[in-house]
Amino acid sequence: MIQKIKRWKKFEQKLRFKAMEESGGANERGIYDELVYLVDAINNFRIKEIIGEHGYPTHKLLGKQGMKDFWLLVQHQDEDLELQQSCLSNCDFASIERAYLTDRILLAEGKKQIYGTQFTRKNKKLVLRPVRNRKDIDKLRKKAGLETLAEYTKKMSR
């Protein structure tokens, strides 16, 4: 199971990077974006199949890297907020992964993010999506094991 998850993650990441290259960072959708959407739908089925057969994954079941790979598949399940929420509640993701998934879920619910992990592109420029408490964000990020927002923004801009 660990090798399957690793393979699925590797494939979806290749497609996502191809989609970004194709669009040049613009808000345009191309064939790779459509393929990413399809692969996410397939992965949705796979994630639910794993949960159905083995329960919610744990470090004991998948190991550290396996959990990180599984988290990334869940992170990209934007079409299934309920699945993201149940995995956040029931999987023992590392604190960093929990922070990313929490922000993703909050934004999907129309709320502001806590940790400042989610960006969007506007006019080919990287823009931080709304955050709750900008003043304390670096304290919250540090507590979750994340670098400062300035460091992360610089990294994301590359």
pLDDT digits (tens, 9 = 90+) for 86-105: 999 999 999 999 999 999 99
What does the pLDDT read at residue 50? 97
Residue scoring higher pLDDT (22 or 45): 45
Confidence of residue 156 (pLDDT cuts 50, 70, 90): confident
Instruction: Give the DSSP H/E element, type plus range, for residue 122.
Output: strand 119-122
Q: What separation, in Å, do the N-terminal and C-terminal C-alpha atoms of the chain show?
A: 33
Single pTM value for the model: 0.90
Chain-wide mean pLDDT for the chain? Answer: 93
Is the predicted pLDDT of residue 54 greater than 80, yes or no? yes
Domain positions in the chain: 2-93, 112-158
Q: What 8-state DSSP symbol labels residue 148? A: P
Residue scoring higher pLDDT (52 or 17): 52
What does the pLDDT read at residue 137? 96
| Contact of 114 with 105, CB cutoff 8 Å | no
| Contact of 36 with 15, CB cutoff 8 Å | yes
Confidence of residue 148 (pLDDT cuts 50, 70, 90): very high
Query: Which whole number is the average pLDDT over 148-156?
Result: 92
How wide is the angle at C-alpha 152 spanned by C-alphas 144 and 69, nearest 5°? 60
Burial environment of residue 74 by CB neighbours within 10 A (0 to 12, 13 to 18, 19 or more):
buried
Confidence of residue 21 (pLDDT cuts 50, 70, 90): confident
Give the whole-number percent of the chain exceeding pLDDT 90.
82
What does the pLDDT read at residue 26? 53
